[in-house]
Structure 1
């Protein structure tokens, strides 16, 4: 069946009424799951951060009418056209075409060498571009290997932080198990060796992620900071200095092998479409918003990469409390966006970058290839 041409339709004057439905057929299904709800399947008028990123053309749509619907003024059609270099003539769009409603993100900087030609003068290397964010926490399918534990501090306070000195016992878990067996000599021989200057991440164990049958699906760790070993001894616990702290640190918090805790994050195009869900949050609570951390149930095995962005969708009736299970006849509505800042094998940590409504655990996430 041939495509039907749809004109700009300047004869409509200043009317902003869409001539045809904004709601179109959903995009291809992912992994046998339900189809992705379209970003434009919402109210025909949008304001601020609620504006979708694209519209799929239906029969009867025109650039003129779409500008009136999304921007509130059909004479904004040149603005819409400027976002769509693939539309060579604004008088003609076709059913199924993608019309972008916002300016695309700036291209990512390439990492190639200097272009051929004259030699470049020596200069100091610039810091990587992007947003610098602490990891904050992680969920892993397998438990992390614990290196040790903070057992005390000379500071006369229950909460510890940056620049505080602490005493650390390495191999503590092995020690306790061996003492229970009455084999202290074996415990001493198994205690790992550490060196002055060695750094470890300080984490706190959170509640595990479980399914409806209470089976453990993942292990949650809250990243509190890091410490550096300043003194080792054969007779007593090692001494260390907390050199980074993002949350209060307490005696009893555990140590894991150090990874860089400050991530440089910038938007990165997705390799494929993907459906995910928010399974937990960094901060305790019920509802969350912009700049708060969430954990999602997709990771490196699902081709998720740092910088990927997911849109957040909810089904809700206006009077219901966020998180209430609605009637499935209610359409999906896009309520925000997250950006991934840390990726593990099966889980990722993300930050909420946009929210027009309270975000809750269980919300649906969608990633689109090429965005």
Structure 2
């Protein structure tokens, strides 16, 4: 039986078609699908495959699919089978969608991407996760030419830093800390984009002269203490992600959600305590698992800890703390983790990463595990 790693390697490589895993097509998959505006390669593949992350294998006969700008709304895709019985999704060039104005040929910005960019764009372009050392070393806003607590368009800001003349800088606000739930280590700080400014007067910090910048755009209020980064640093917007499983077993946790709610679902953004230090990459597909609750089997029969007596809970916690066997009249059962969903990593920092939930059987929560076995 092939491991998930082997399956992922074969599914993403056209060099070994003879030994690749067989793709499982859903029973209700259509024979033909017409691409709609807002579709993604991932979403289309999810219509056909039980394991959507294997989508590159489904598109293998389309040599041009690696360039998402060649697939457009209005294109027709047909499900076929090759000589070996392997399913393939191919572009039906004979299909033409008619309108009162003639043939529709969508181009340019309407090209289909791998993931829904409208959902992840704010976290690719307006969100950073930086450690304290990175933030502390950056130039920051001292004040403005107007004595107000928040600054807006065309205001002049004075910055504690020797900035380059005429260069544009993005302004960020330092937000909440992302903390490891097991060690309490601060992994990174959320940095939210506030606006863009351009330098029109150089400063000389050694002589107490700040740099002067003019605000050119505003996304949120700019405050004293907000820090600056060169424009576009960390703001890349890739349209294509190479979906694959990690090469080694991993276990991390969901440590935060983008919208600060308690439970979240498909197409929501979460933060993981996994990053480049754990060899996480954009495009990695991970399972989401949840720890099943333990059970204390005592004199009154099996019960969850919250339903057990104080004595049973005391015996259980004391035994666990001391590494002892539970009381002969009380057995503590540790249950396994169960899969509750899947996610795709799309932005990676040293110790944290942002991920998009692509599938869930139950609401996802902070504390759920992100794993590859």
In the TM superposition, 1:29-108 aligns within 5 A as 76=27, 101=50, 104-106=54-56, 107=59
What is the match of residue 240 of structure 1? 214
What is the match of residue 302 of structure 1? 278
1:168 to 139, 158, 161: 158
C-alpha spacing 1:353/1:331, structure 2 compared with 1 (3 Å): closer
Query: How much has 1:238 moved relative to structure 2?
Result: 0.9
Q: Distance in 1 between matches of 2:336 and 2:213?
A: 59
State the aligned residue count: 246
In the TM superposition, 1:115-194 aligns within 5 A as 126=108, 130=113, 131=117, 133-135=121-123, 136-140=126-130, 143-145=133-135, 146-153=137-144, 163=153, 165-171=155-161, 192-194=162-164
Q: Equivalent residue of 2:263, what SS?
A: coil
What is the match of residue 269 of structure 2? 293
Q: Distance in 2 between matches of 1:160 and 1:291?
A: 33
Q: Distance in 2 between matches of 1:288 and 1:158?
A: 35
1:113-148 deviation line (CA, Å, top 9, x unaligned): xxxxxxxxxxxx956853251335344466214322
1:128-186 deviation line (CA, Å, top 9, x unaligned): 8532513353444662143222334567875556x453413123xxxxxxxxxxxxxxx
1:206 to 176, 180, 205: 176
Q: Distance in 1 between matches of 2:50 and 2:356?
A: 24
Query: How much has 1:209 moved relative to structure 2?
Result: 1.9
What is the match of residue 333 of structure 1? 339
Does structure 1 conserve the Cα–Cα contact (< 8 Å) formed by 2:178 and 2:255? no
C-alpha spacing 1:158/1:294, structure 2 compared with 1 (3 Å): farther
Q: Distance in 2 between matches of 1:143 and 1:168?
A: 22
Q: Distance in 2 between matches of 1:249 and 1:359?
A: 33
1:279-300 deviation line (CA, Å, top 9, x unaligned): 2334434333344432212223
Does structure 2 conserve the Cα–Cα contact (< 8 Å) formed by 1:299 and 1:346? yes
What is the match of residue 100 of structure 2? none
Q: Distance in 2 between matches of 1:300 and 1:309?
A: 15
More helix by share: 2
Does structure 2 conserve the Cα–Cα contact (< 8 Å) formed by 1:225 and 1:242? no
Does structure 2 conserve the Cα–Cα contact (< 8 Å) formed by 1:140 and 1:346? no
TM-score for both structures, normalised by structure 2: 0.51
C-alpha spacing 1:345/1:303, structure 2 compared with 1 (3 Å): same
Q: Distance in 1 between matches of 2:150 and 2:265?
A: 27
Query: How much has 1:195 moved relative to structure 2?
Result: 1.3
More strand by share: 2
Q: Equivalent residue of 2:364, what SS?
A: coil
- The gaps in structure 2 that reach 5 residues or longer are 6-20, 31-48, 68-106, 204-208, 294-303, 307-331
What is the match of residue 313 of structure 2? none
- The gaps in structure 1 that reach 5 residues or longer are 1-24, 30-55, 58-65, 81-99, 112-124, 172-191
Does structure 2 conserve the Cα–Cα contact (< 8 Å) formed by 1:142 and 1:218? no
Does structure 1 conserve the Cα–Cα contact (< 8 Å) formed by 2:177 and 2:186? no
Q: Equivalent residue of 1:143, what SS?
A: helix
C-alpha spacing 1:264/1:256, structure 2 compared with 1 (3 Å): same
Q: Does 1:269 align with 2:243?
A: yes
